[in-house]
Amino acid sequence: MVTVITGGASGLGEASARHLLEKGARGVVLLDLNAGRGAALEKELGARALFVQTDITDMDAVQRAVDAALDRFGAVHAVVAAAAIPGPSKLITRNGPIDMGKFDNVMKVNVYGTLHVMRAAVQSMLKNAPNEDGERGVVINVASGAAYEGQIGQIAYSASKAALVGMTMPLARELAAHGVRVMTIAPGAFDTPIYENVPSEVKAGMVDLVLFPKRLGKPSEFALFVEEIIRNPLHNGRTYRFDGGAILPAKS
């Protein structure tokens, strides 16, 4: 199994890479902008890891990264599209209406970036030899609870994550004929580097939203779910909320 992971140099992407290698994956391909972190992680993980510095908003750069994966490992069997940016903004701000450049940037990374990796990776999956079920590959996109209960100031982020949820079923229906499954995970708050500088009282408020267990999610738990989706062929065409039962309030 060879998996291409966007946002692969840190957070949920890094955790997924580590876990899949521990479970015997033939290779993981880490796409990320952070060259220093990516190169260090590649060195740490060894020969079964390949880092390709990639701006996922650049369609040609993503294609080159997938081509590098094929050159190194010979095939791509799975995608975990974990790269995303927040881009907080309200429709009406103190300085007037929303800056459309900010909105566009979130959509380019979170939606277009995900599409770029899917179009390149799935095209290569179609060449894979099918298994006994006829499966050739699996795509796992990463949305958010904000796709359902977007908070004030999250219109760009919520719209981008809702777009991923909305694409899941039509993609699963289209690609079923080719033996490629499509799933989306909508995680809650996980204890990743993105929260390192968040005030403790804000973290506590996030934990209060969780029904059980009363803590932030562990990246290793997300990675375990990624493995479950890859291994279990009945996961298809669905978005799973993965948040300990948390429901987001109107304001953070």
Active site residues: 157
Sign for the CA dihedral angle at 212, 213, 218, 223 comes to negative
Q: How far apart are CA 78 and CA 181, in angstroms?
A: 9
Tokens matching residue 128: 């894979």
Amino acid in position 106: V
Total residue length of the chain: 252
For β-strands 92-93 and 96-97, DSSP reports them as: antiparallel
Q: How far apart are CA 237 and CA 182, in angstroms?
A: 6
Residue 52 β-bridge partners = 31
Q: How far apart are CA 42 and CA 50, in angstroms?
A: 6
For β-strands 137-142 and 78-81, DSSP reports them as: parallel
Give the number of other Cβ atoms within 10 Å of residue 22's Cβ: 11
Q: Smallest Cα–Cα separation from 130: which of 190, 195, 175?
A: 175
**E strands in the chain:** 2-6, 27-32, 49-53, 78-81, 92-93, 96-97, 137-142, 180-187, 239-242
